[in-house]
Amino acid sequence: ILDRHGYEGKVDVIGVSWGGAVAQQFAFQCQHRVNRLILAATTAGMTMVPGDWGVLSKMATPQRYVDPEYLKRNFEKLYGEGENLAGQHAIRIMPPTLVGYFAQMTAMLGWT
């Protein structure tokens, strides 16, 4: 995108959630183009394990995107916030397609 638009300078890159992995990969591959890398709520790679093994199984399923009750029951463990924010989050969330979700999971298998 930078090349296509003729921008030759360095950029600040921010990645949130899965986009954090994309931002890290860009910063690794294009170090000469990155001024700063900002990561928010992202991952260190597939070898990353949450402090609570029970959370891993909840993170690995797309159920939190399609089942508001599941999200409400597991919100605090998944996102570290109280259940009172689960409803607000559920309203804003845009569920991925199953194909898209599993494509993201597959893309991350070899990334660390």
d(CA 40, CA 45): 14
d(CA 73, CA 60): 16
Taken in order 43, 44, 46, 48, the sign of the CA dihedral is: negative
How many other C-beta atoms lie within 10 A of the C-beta of residue 80? 9
Indicate if 17 belongs to the active site: yes
- Assigned token pair, 88: 């607000």
Q: Spot the catalytic one: 17, 25, 31, 63.
A: 17
How many other C-beta atoms lie within 10 A of the C-beta of residue 77? 13
User: What residues act catalytically?
Assistant: 17
